[in-house]
Amino acid sequence: MSAVTEQPLTFKGYFRNIKEAIVSTVKGMAITIKYVYGVKPVTVEYPEVKEVLPENSRSRLYNDVENCISCMQCATACPVDCIYIAAVKRDKDAPKLKTTSGNPIRLDLTQYTIDTALCCYCGLCTTVCPTECLTHTTDYEFSQFTLDEMKYDYLAEDVRAWRTRIVK
Ligand code: SF4
Ligand code: SF4
Give 121-139 pLDDT, tens digit per residue: 999 999 999 999 999 999 8
Question: Do 35 and 105 lie in a common domain?
Answer: no
Looking at residue 60, its pLDDT comes to 92
pLDDT surpassing 60 at residue 1: no
Task: Please work out whether the CB of residue 22 comes within 6 Å of at least one atom of ligand 1.
Answer: no
149-165 per-position pLDDT tens digit: 999 999 998 887 777 66
Task: Identify which has the larger pLDDT, 39 or 12.
Answer: 12
Looking at residue 165, its pLDDT comes to 64
pLDDT surpassing 90 at residue 113: yes
Q: Residue 166: which pLDDT band, with cuts at 50, 70 and 90? A: low
Whether 53 is covered by a domain: the verdict is: no
Question: Do 79 and 160 lie in a common domain?
Answer: yes
Question: Do 88 and 140 lie in a common domain?
Answer: yes
Question: Do 110 and 38 lie in a common domain?
Answer: no
How many angstroms separate the alpha carbon of residue 52 from the centre of ligand 2? 27
Query: What's the structural domain count of the chain?
Result: 2
Enclosing domain of residue 33: 8-42
25-46 per-position pLDDT tens digit: 999 999 999 888 877 777 889 9
53-89 per-position pLDDT tens digit: 999 999 999 999 999 999 999 999 999 999 999 999 9
Give the number of other Cβ atoms within 10 Å of residue 29's Cβ. Answer: 10
Q: Which DSSP string corresponds to the chain?
A: -PPPPPPPPPHHHHHHHHHHHHHHHHHHHHHHHIIIIIS------TTTS-PPPPTT---SEEE-GGG-----HHHHH-TT--EEEEEEEPPTTSPP-B-TTS-B--EEEEEEEEETTT-----HHHHH-TT--EEE-S------SSSGGGEEETTSHHHHHHHHHH--
Looking at residue 129, its pLDDT comes to 97
Looking at residue 163, its pLDDT comes to 73
Pocket test for ligand 2, best of 113, 134, 152, 155 (most atoms within 8 A of CB): 134
Task: Please work out whether the CB of residue 133 comes within 6 Å of at least one atom of ligand 2.
Answer: yes
Whether 84 is covered by a domain: the verdict is: yes
CATH of the domain at 114: 3.30.70.3270
Whether 38 is covered by a domain: the verdict is: yes
Task: Please work out whether the CB of residue 120 comes within 6 Å of at least one atom of ligand 1.
Answer: yes
Closest CA to ligand 1's atom 2 = 122
Task: Please work out whether the CB of residue 114 comes within 6 Å of at least one atom of ligand 2.
Answer: no
**What are residue 6's phi and psi, to 5 degrees?**
-80, 130
Q: Residue 2: which pLDDT band, with cuts at 50, 70 and 90? A: low
Looking at residue 5, its pLDDT comes to 66
